[in-house]
Structure 1
């Protein structure tokens, strides 16, 4: 099946139901499909091989996702938080492309042959066309989505998700037309994140109204939930932390009677935060959803009953499950040691998953699945005796700050550009608010000097604020192994 089938099904079943609400804009499912039809015709006429989106959350995102599927080309949402050089490097890799953006972000783009830049407002108001309606492709192996994801080297990899992967995830986790007419999900995750794509596909399949916010701010999020009578939400842990802080600060009840279900994921959830959130919203069903780009979103879930059982239990083995990511869903999951041996309960190792929704594939690098179809998630963790998965962190060096992957290498390069710095290593450090924070160990050149604030300002000036090390220590030397590889695990111990 092609993911465009999802929109066709929703439009046929509930064409008059509101699909998207963003500010004053409203699209029914019939109107969303018509907009996707018009966009698909424009995309095919452009001869583009990709549909790229450089934008915050707006109706352009769901229209572009389905229009790309109707037109038979991959959808490529771009991270609008990237720097100008980073963005242009990615755009070069997807040319020829039909690129939807706004004047604000268009200023960052260098003229490039084969890239047709389309203003978002023009995209949303494309005229009707006499072109025949698009025929949905029937190749389940065709590429539906291409997402750029940073690895340990810092150079983004292009993760490939095929129609069969995404459809397997949706059909395996969502019941068609399961939403009531008044149900609505508030969408705050950015379009370039797999959770943003999953929100569009799963909400459309459930025929649920999507309430879009361009960005996240706790007070505005609460107001939007009340105004739109939101029943469902997905947030990253940092967002929940902000909501908890806001409600605690104003000493006020959440007052969200319509909200029934709140899912979270994308980073480590501090135990104190989820406990406080559950006390502030006792009527809400909380779900921890663990997934990856390469697995088409969620692969394990800690459901509402698990949350309540863990919070109320006096049994330490059950109570600690509030810090787990739950049990695998429609995938197989196992823990292996570094030699590939499958481990038992309570034995920590590398997390591997297998199933139809698992792509595990990158453009150019190809499939990362082993001979038996297992994908190495590069996360470390263990299973308890009942099959609940506990994550210990990343097996590689990527820092996951508030759901955002940060490469230590790019920060190290900036630090090493300082004339006083001889060596630098950037690692993750525990952070109550963000899950993981950025820390750096610095070796200065003999006789040279530099202070913490100076180095932090250097990083801030060349990268984004999220890359600034919140803690910097100075050392006489950094630890290396016999092959010259930095021993980051030893450095991390300085920041525990």
Structure 2
């Protein structure tokens, strides 16, 4: 199945339903489909097979996603936060793209030697262009996304139409939403969560309400004014929403589900959110760009059961990412490649129709049996709940012993004087690497480094005790809330 068919199904089934709201733009499913046909005509007339987008998203994301598909072109939303040089470097890696850019980013991409059109001009042209509509081969590349590149050169992940639609049809009931259902979308357009949100909500028949620039007060206002029933946020957004609701409680009667993901969320924050919004069903969604979005989910019932239980085997599931979605298989393998049993830690491998594992310029990294190496350290419990221990690249090797930062972070963040933390391993001439805990203190707290070190020592082996504790007002993160550990290591190395 192609992405194009998802929109055709939605427009044919319920054409007058409001499909999206983005600022002053409000489009029904039929209007979005008609505009996408015109957008496909604009792309076809440009004679290109690839469309790049630089901008905040909103209505432009679903419009360009479906316009590109209907023109038989691949679509790449780019990180608008990058420098001009960074953007041009990525654009240069795409095959003769048409670049669509919001007005404020046109100067950034100008001079790259590519066709450039503003978002407003694209919409205007789409309204009058000769329509084009085709259904690409399911194995054609539909979307190319660049990984965040927090530790290396960004890779260009190729997702086929089949990868993306397999995820949607396997996890979403077509037209299964209630007539008044609305989803608030504020994840970045260049992240897989932004792409999957556009596809899944349209397929479900849910109105999409876009908030291109996140602000907790505006988020709360849109939930109330647009009758939002579901939303997806990254951890940094959840933290700010919880802080806003904690300082000024606001009733959100329509909100039924709130999904969070993109990076690890501290358990104290999850517990506080559950307490502030007891009638909301929380969902922890874990996935990767290479897997077309979510591969495991901790459901609202899982959250409630873990929070209420006195059984440690159940309560610890609040720190898991749940169980695999339909159609996805999981394996945990040790360093020798052998599959390990429940409770044993290793690297997570995944397999399924939604899994791409293919990169431009590199090719497929799937093994002979179709398994994708995620590079995430993980383990499964007896009931199949998945626990993520961080990236294998983050492992600290101190004195020849492998240490997972997440193990220490999970203990540190439970201290009442700690709001957030990250554990990294700068180089050290004696130990190879040392353990440094970078701590964001809780509001009004003045933590004692030795007290925090003792807190860790009391719960973990002595070798896990941080060699140093340093304090920061905030941790450097990317748009999805992932801590930029490389920046911390560079900063710590420079101050030694």
- The answer for the alignment partner of 2:465 in structure 1 is none
Aligned counterpart, 1:175: 173
Out of 488, 491, 496, the position equivalent to 1:469 is 488
**1:64–1:469 distance in 2 versus 1, CA, 3 Å:** same
**CA RMSD of superposed structures (Å):** 2.7
Match of 1:317 in 2: 313
Cα deviation for residue 22 of structure 1 reads 1.1
Match of 2:225 among 221, 224, 227: 227
Flag the 1:304–1:156 CA change in 2: closer, same or farther, 3 A.
Answer: same
TM-score, structure 1 normalization: 0.81
Moved over 3 A (4+): 127-133, 150-153, 427-444, 465-477
Secondary structure of the equivalent of 1:298?
strand
1:125 is paired with a residue whose SS is helix
Structure 2 equivalent of residue 363 of structure 1 = 360
CA distance in 2, matches of 1:109, 1:476: 36
Matched-pair contact (CA < 8 Å) for 1:265–1:288: yes
Matches within 5 A, 1:171-210: 171-210=169-208
Relative to structure 1, is the Cα distance of residues 31 and 317 closer, same or farther in structure 2, using a 3 angstrom cutoff?
same
Cα contact 1:338–1:349 (8 A) shared by 2: yes
* Distance (whole Å) between structure 2 residues aligned to residue 242 and residue 271 of structure 1: 15
Equivalent of residue 291 in structure 1, options 287, 301, 305? 287
The C-alpha deviation readout for 1:417-447, integer Å capped at 9, x for no partner, is xxxxxxxxxx999496997658684789xxx
Aligned residue in 2 for 1:393: 390
- Output the TM-score relative to the length of structure 2: 0.81
Greater CA drift, 239-248 or 148-157: 148-157
Q: Any unmatched runs of 5+ in structure 2?
A: 397-404, 430-471, 477-482
Q: Distance in 2 between matches of 1:150 and 1:319?
A: 32
Contact kept in structure 1, 2:4 and 2:134, CA below 8 Å: no
For residues 436 and 117 of structure 1, what CA distance do their matches in structure 2 show? 42
User: Secondary structure, in 3 states, of the residue corresponding to 1:33?
Assistant: helix
Contact 1:237/1:264 (<8 A) preserved: yes
Counterpart of 2:298 in structure 1 is 302
CA distance in 2 between counterparts of 1:475 and 1:94 reads 36
Distance verdict in 2 for CA 1:163–1:132, change over 3 Å: same
SS at match of 2:93: helix
* Separation of aligned partners in 1, 2:494 and 2:69: 53
Residues 234, 264 of structure 1: 8 Å contact kept: yes
Instruction: Please name the residue that 1:157 is paired with.
Output: 155
**Corresponding residue of 1:121:** 120
| Count of aligned pairs between the two proteins | 429
In 1, are the aligned partners of 2:37 and 2:132 still within 8 Å (CA)? Answer: yes
Task: Name the counterpart of 2:336.
Answer: 339
Question: Residues 19 and 208 of structure 2 are in contact (CA less than 8 Å); yes or no, is this contact kept in structure 1?
Answer: yes
